Amino acid sequence: MSNSYYITTPIYYVNDRPHIGHGYCTVAADVLTRYRRLLGRESFFLTGTDEHGSKVEKAAESSGVSPKELVDRNSDLFKESWRALLVENDYFVRTTDERHEKAVQKLISRLHEATTPDGQPVIYPGDYRGLYCLGCEKFLTEKDLTSEGLCPDHLTKPELLSEKNYFFRLTSYLDRVRELIESDRLKILPRERKNEVLGLFKQGLEDFSISREKVRWGIPIPFDPSQKAYVWVDALPNYISAVGFGDDPSAFSKWWRNSHVTHLIGKDILKFHTIFWPAMLLAIGEKVPDLIFIHGYFTVSGQKMSKSLGNVISNHDLVERFGPDAARYLLLNMFPFGTDGDIRISDFYKKYNSDLANDFGNLVSRALKLLESNFAGKIPPASELRGDETALREFIGGAIAKCRAEIDAINPNGAAESFMSVCRELNRYFDSQKPWALAKEKELTRLGTVLRTTLEGIRTVSVLAHPYMPTKCAEIRKTLGLTPQPASISEAAEPFVLHEGFEAKLSTAVFPRLETPPDRDIAAHTAAAPACSDGLIDIAEFGKVQLRVAEILAAEPVPKADKLLKLQIAIGSDRRQIVAGIAQHYKPDQLVGRKIIVVANLKPAKLRGIESNGMLLAAKGGDKLALLTVDFDLPSGATIS
Ligand code: MSP
């Protein structure tokens, strides 16, 4: 196999807003790709959006737009998130692209023509009956459901569906897939996940249906266009359609057949990727992926992120708070890549301040300050090397080797730990040499050596940390007179690269310390309720206020009013426009699809000449504002009592 490397993220459902759970995997793939390139390996990085299925169709219908308009708009939100997070994917696949649709049809035709090793048709017609969760886009078994018979992820009742489908003869490929997994030809990491997958074989797996009769928004089955491809049969082939399975044999051969193929996925989509997908590939005689890495899940303050709980942290939110470089670092370093982790916003601040502001940023500032005051900012020679410097270089050599090994093991945390360990070691070295005392005693030769050694160490960090924090590392490198992008990881190991006499000045701190905001303070915003003289109101007074659940369908800024947003909302079947003073707290794209609480019986009012028919409720604490919402997904129009 060639030395090239092909990495993918799952394609994200467009009916969800991009959040840090999606950002997690996408930034990991970006960081790994950048490291691979630094290591001199050719790489291709794919991400994209999953855009078919009845859920999209329904969402479009309730927003009064066509499915195509909805998917175009929502797919762009993912692209914007990735731009904000400095993600540089090589291709963005959309399942509604004609290129992808044709590739899926080609794959299904190939499956249809194929026979299993024991001579049976791979695809056959059959009847399917099952409990289908629209949210998951999959059939659930009785044992998947909660004790109330609900989908455990969406807490909704699955629908009983019965229809004619075409089936894929999975059972004919199970032995081969299991062998591939057992032998690590198809490697599954972390190890516990491999065991989990092998356990699935023991529980028993059945043929699965590849088509749907009831779905309209999907790819027609080429040999029976009355049926649409089942969402997973539509989605999984994105990994090959994007590299030319349908239309570019040489790209396909390069990136799929002759590269090391890694799929990064979350645990919820394990079975589809590790069993269904390899089996489909085997059935058309194609190579299976080399590695499937299952990363952990983010929960926020102990709960799954969900729109209805209002605890979803968007990628934009993280970028606004910490800047794109730190957001990338923080996303991947709150817990190990292969395990789940619970976070609070305040944890991000703690990590930012301890790792980036203190250990990294402060080191840069301290070294440059002493350089400025003692050498007019000019990089001095290191003419008095002692054991301390040699020991430091040895430590750095070890850290570089560790960084390489961690990337091979798909462990972005380990790679970060390697450059953070260099920062900590440099701080120890710097403090132990007491350069401020050397300055006071005018021991400038030794001081020059200490500063030069520290700056060369910072340069090493600017190479090793570059894939994580490309713009900040580029800034540091430019300050030190280097190219913004290191040519190769081998630069990290060079002891002396900086140009003597180069004037190194940094105008602002690389990672300024940030105040950790107090946890959200929720105070009710009671403007609608008329108060009595003693501040108490009668229940009858309160009863006059009609509070209803509304869904935000669209949101846009109000020109020349930096606090206002114009929202289109649905209260049941009633469509309304309201104007709300929340523009400094929410971006329009964070709002669409959210369920909020509105006062539905307010007299219409005009704000900046724009009619507002109702008022939303929000809680204010200090300078923060949070929308009131329902902690369970109720339909819009639901009343509040
Ligand atoms: N469209 C399918 C994937 C098809 S791939 C051929 C899908 N989409 S998804 O948008 O629901 O999820 C995409 C990925 O995001 C999954 O790997 C899922 O595990 C991940 N995450 C969603 N929420 C997450 C967290 N809170 N934390 C970490 N990752 C999570 O499934």
Atom of ligand 1 nearest to the CA of 235: 6
Q: How far, in Å, CA of 24 to CA of 335, rounded?
A: 11
Question: Which has more confidence, 315 or 129?
Answer: 315
Ligand 1 geometric centre to CA of 80 (Å): 18
78 CB within 6 A, ligand 1: no
Is the pLDDT at 26 greater than 70, yes or no? yes
382 CB within 6 A, ligand 1: no
Q: Look over the chain and give the mean of its residue pLDDT values, rounded to a whole number.
A: 91
Cβ burial 339-364 (10 Å sphere, 16+ → b, else e): eeeebbbebbbebbbebbbbbbbbbb
50 CB within 6 A, ligand 1: yes
Q: Note whether 78 and 589 are within 8 A (CB).
A: no
266 CB within 6 A, ligand 1: yes
Is the pLDDT at 143 greater than 90, yes or no? no
Ligand 1 geometric centre to CA of 231 (Å): 14
pLDDT tens-place string over residues 409-428 = 999 999 999 999 999 999 99
State the pLDDT at residue 539.
Answer: 65
Q: Note whether 168 and 179 are within 8 A (CB).
A: no
CA distances in angstroms from 525 to 280, 397, 616, listed in the order given = 55, 58, 10
Cβ partners under 8 Å of residue 449, min gap 6: 380, 381, 382, 383, 384, 385, 386, 389
Q: Note whether 512 and 506 are within 8 A (CB).
A: no
* Residue with token string 């089942």: 230
Q: Which of 72-76, 575-579, 633-637 has the lowest mean pLDDT?
A: 633-637
166 CB within 6 A, ligand 1: no
Q: How far, in Å, CA of 418 to CA of 396, rounded?
A: 9
| pTM as predicted | 0.81
Q: Which of 57-66, 162-171, 472-481 has the lowest mean pLDDT?
A: 57-66
State the pLDDT at residue 605.
Answer: 79
CATH label, 4-315, candidates 3.40.50.620, 1.10.10.10, 3.40.1160.10, 3.40.50.300: 3.40.50.620
104 CB within 6 A, ligand 1: no
Ligand 1 geometric centre to CA of 114 (Å): 31
| Nearest-CA residue for atom 10 of ligand 1 | 12
Q: What's the pLDDT band for 613 if we cut at 50, 70, 90?
A: confident
Q: Note whether 347 and 334 are within 8 A (CB).
A: yes
Q: Helix/strand/coil (H, E, C) string of 471-486? A: HHHHHHHHHCCCCCCC
542 CB within 6 A, ligand 1: no
Q: How far, in Å, CA of 71 to CA of 77, rounded?
A: 10
**Number of neighbours of residue 218 by Cβ within 10 angstroms:** 26
Q: What's the pLDDT band for 163 if we cut at 50, 70, 90?
A: confident
| 591 SS3 class | helix
State the pLDDT at residue 302.
Answer: 86
Atom of ligand 1 nearest to the CA of 25: 29
Question: Which has more confidence, 310 or 22?
Answer: 22
State the pLDDT at residue 511.
Answer: 97
| 48 SS3 class | strand
State the pLDDT at residue 635.
Answer: 73
Residue range 345-493, CATH number: 1.10.730.10
Ligand 1 geometric centre to CA of 289 (Å): 19
276 CB within 6 A, ligand 1: no
Q: Confirm or reject CATH 2.60.120.380 for domain 546-640, answering yes or no.
A: no
Q: Number of H helices and number of E strands within the chain?
A: 22, 25
State the pLDDT at residue 541.
Answer: 63
State the pLDDT at residue 265.
Answer: 98
If you ran DSSP here, which 8-state letter would residue 639 be given?
B
Atom of ligand 1 nearest to the CA of 238: 6
Ligand 1 geometric centre to CA of 390 (Å): 46
Ligand 1 geometric centre to CA of 369 (Å): 45
Is the pLDDT at 623 greater than 80, yes or no? no
Pairing of strands 5-13, 260-266: parallel
pLDDT tens-place string over residues 243-255 = 999 999 999 999 9
Pairing of strands 574-580, 561-571: antiparallel
**Number of neighbours of residue 281 by Cβ within 10 angstroms:** 22
Q: How far, in Å, CA of 543 to CA of 539, rounded?
A: 6
| 624 SS3 class | strand
Q: How far, in Å, CA of 160 to CA of 141, rounded?
A: 11
Ligand 1 geometric centre to CA of 392 (Å): 42
Domain ranges (residues) in the chain: 4-315, 345-493, 546-640
Percent of the chain with pLDDT over 90: 72
Q: Do domains 345-493 and 546-640 have the same CATH topology?
A: no
Which two three-digit tokens encode residue 523?
Answer: 């105070």
Atom of ligand 1 nearest to the CA of 272: 6
- HSE-CB at 158 with a 13 A cutoff on CA atoms is 25
Q: Across 481-571, where does the E strand assignment appear?
A: 547-558, 561-571
Percent of the chain with pLDDT over 70: 95
State the pLDDT at residue 330.
Answer: 98
Q: Note whether 98 and 51 are within 8 A (CB).
A: no
Q: What is the largest CA-CA distance in the chain?
A: 88
pLDDT tens-place string over residues 488-540 = 999 999 999 999 999 999 888 999 999 988 654 322 222 222 333 344 556 66
- Of 82, 297, 332, which is best to mutate to test ligand 1, by the most ligand atoms within 8 angstroms of its C-beta? 297
13 CB within 6 A, ligand 1: yes
State the pLDDT at residue 524.
Answer: 25
State the pLDDT at residue 529.
Answer: 29
What are the catalytic residues? 19, 22, 133, 136, 151, 154, 304, 307
